[in-house]
Amino acid sequence: MKKQAGAVIIIVLWTSVLLTVLVTAMASKVRLSAKTAIHNQEASMGWAELMGVVSQAEMELMLENMPLPIGEQLEETDEGEVRLSKYRFNGQALELSYPGPENIMVRIYDHAGKINLNRIPRRNMQLLIEKRLGGLDANPEDVQDLLAAWTDWTDLNDLEGLNGAEKNYYELLEQPYEPRNNPELDTVEEILHIRGFAELFEGVNLNAAFTIYGNGRTVNLNLATREAMQLLPGLDDELIENILAFREIEDLQNRAEIAEIVPFENLQELSAWVGNGTSNVFSLFAYPVLEIEETTLTELAREQEFVNPDSVTQAYMEIIEVRGFNTLPRVYKIEPYGVLPDTAPPRVHPEDLLF
């Protein structure tokens, strides 16, 4: 009887252990399902909120095409010069006419601030290649080889130029393909398929520096991204940061004002690239703001001189064409994780400003 009683006790104990394990597992599964449901709900609400802000940003661009109300006061500088409202689409943090949630950041980039690969003159492409290869220290043969490869990619035939690259070259690659043979590139990234250009633009945020949309042949410095200006002949990092600082105060309306910042020798190199036009094609970025604690910013400031308070580098992105104030924009591209251009404020001390 004692043995039987002991066996029963052991069975009861094992049963209790198994039931406990089963109940614990079921409870964990229910808790996990509940958390998943909550996270899915939060994600859905966050996505809906983000898409609402994107629609508001699109409307902001449409409103820009509307005639100004009678008597509306235009923004002016301290000297009384009128500032163009279109120039605010240069990547600065935007305050929309119809405010959205405070935790969503909107940045819009006019493509007149980028280098148009489909409209760049051959001479300008040569100058761009020379700068990427070291400027005056660039090897002329390397420059001409890259320029020949660009010409062969964008011409209308399969005839290989001197030291160029045509169908015969690209078909022998490990992953073969055919050249475009058309001056109209389909994407900015296509330039990386041209012989030597992947190495030439290694490390460059191509979508921040280049565009394939519109008919602009020049870059508007009021709208230009850092990445585009870093490629322009005549500009170095110091001049770029001063341009960024200047345009926060007033618009660069003509070459005379550019000459206040850019020395004459540099301006001679730069003149062929700059204009004051705008476009109707924009890159629109929207993303939740990440709050950085003051202590973290202080620690980062010790490590590097200029700290970007906006730590986000990827965001929801659309490339759109605005066709008027009563027609919805045409969407050319959607990138849920688009790479932002450099959004840091001007990296220059007030005492080092050149104006």
What mean pLDDT, rounded, does the chain reach?
Answer: 90
- CA 255, CA 270: separation in Å to the nearest integer? 10
Structure confidence by residue, pLDDT tens digits, 267-295: 999 999 999 999 999 999 999 998 776 66
Of the candidates 16, 215, 32, the one whose C-alpha atom is nearest the C-alpha of residue 112 is 215
Of 69-83, 98-112, 224-238, 328-342, the poorest mean pLDDT is in: 69-83
Domain of residue 252, residue span: 1-118+206-355
| Measured distance CA(130)–CA(200) in Å, rounded | 10
Question: Distance between CA 184 and CA 207 in Å, rounded?
Answer: 16
User: 115-116 and 210-211 as β-strands: parallel, antiparallel, unpaired?
Assistant: parallel
Q: Higher confidence at residue 301 or residue 169?
A: 169
**The total number of structural domains that make up the chain:** 2
Within this chain, do residues 102 and 139 fall inside the same structural domain, yes or no? Answer: no
Q: Mark which of 135, 152, 183 sits at the end of a domain.
A: 183
pLDDT of residue 12: 74
Same domain, 84 and 154: no
pLDDT at residue 212, as a whole number: 98
Model confidence band, residue 247 (pLDDT cutoffs 50, 70, 90): very high
Q: What is the largest CA-CA distance in the chain?
A: 110
Is the domain of 176 the same as that of 41?
no
Residue 238 has pLDDT above 60, yes or no: yes
Establish if 199 belongs to a structural domain: no
Question: Is 190 within the bounds of a domain?
Answer: no
Model confidence pLDDT, tens digit, residues 33-74:
777 777 777 778 889 999 999 999 999 999 998 887 777 777
* pLDDT of 105 above 90: yes
**Which whole number is the average pLDDT over 166-176?**
94
pTM: 0.88
Question: Does residue 334 have a pLDDT over 60?
Answer: yes
Question: pLDDT tens digits for 110-125?
Answer: 999 999 999 999 999 9
pLDDT for the residue numbered 16? 77
- Is residue 198 situated within a structural domain? no
